[in-house]
Structures are given as structure tokens and as C-alpha cells.
Amino acid sequence: MSGSAVMMMIVAMVVVWGGLIASILFLRARPKVDDTLLEDPDMVREDTARLHEPHPTRDL
């Protein structure tokens, strides 16, 4: 492979795969915000109802 091709490949890998690793590490380090947000129980109830609607992309 030519030098410029190797360079572009490394740039792509560092930015994209490095970004993936960095964002996973960041998420592991700071998985959630401080528990200062208090939810209205009505909203929690509404969310729970919505949880019962099947959806392929909702979190488990």
C-alpha cells in the first residue's frame, strides 16, 4: 500500500474506531446523570404503559 493510502486508513481507523472506544469508555465512566431529576409519578406510570407496547428498538 502506498504511504498516503496507509495514512488515510490510519486516520479513518483512529477517528472512527478510536471514537467508538472513547465513547464506550466515557459511557462506562459516566453511565448516568446525578439523581437530581425527580420524575412525576404520573409520567412514570405513562412510561410504564408505553413500555408494554412492543418495539424492536427499545432498550431492554
Partner 1 sequence: MASTGSTAVAPETRDTWSSPSGFILAAIGSAVGLGNIWRFPGVAFESGGGAFIVPYLCALLTAGIPILFLDYSIGHRYRAAAPLAFRRMSRPTEALGWFQIMLSFVIAVYYAAVIAWSMSYFVYSFNLSWGEDTLAFFTGEYLKVGDPGVSATIVPSVAIPVVLVWVAVLVVLALKVSDGVQKVTVVFIPLLFVAFAGLVIRAITLPGAMDGLNALFTPDWSALSNLNVWIAAYSQIFFSLSIAFGIMVTYASYQRRKTNMTTSGLVVAFANSSFEILAGIGVFATLGFMAHQQDVAVGDLEGLTGPILSFVTFPAVINQMPGGNIFGAVFFGALIMAGFTSIISILLGVAASVQEKFGLSRTASAITVSAVCAVISIALFSTTSGLIALDTVDQWANNVGIITSAIVMTIVVVWVVRKSGVLNRHLNAVSTFKIGRVWVVLIGVLAPIFLTVMLVDKLISLIGDGYEGYPQWYLALFGWGTIAFVVVAALILTAIPWKGRDNKDFVAWPDVDEEVER
Least spacing, CB of residue 50 vs partner 1, in Å: 7
Binding flags for partner 1, 1-40, as an x/- string (CB under 8 A): xx-xxx-xx-xxx-xxx-xx--xx-xx--xxxx---x-xx
Distance CA 52, CA 47 (A): 9
The one-character DSSP state at 56 is T
DSSP 53: S
- Count of residues that bind partner 1 according to CB under 8 A: 44
Q: Could you give the CA distance from residue 43 to residue 58 in angstroms, rounded to a whole number?
A: 18
Interacting residues with partner 1 (CB under 8 A): 1-2, 4-6, 8-9, 11-13, 15-17, 19-20, 23-24, 26-27, 30-33, 37, 39-41, 43-45, 47-60
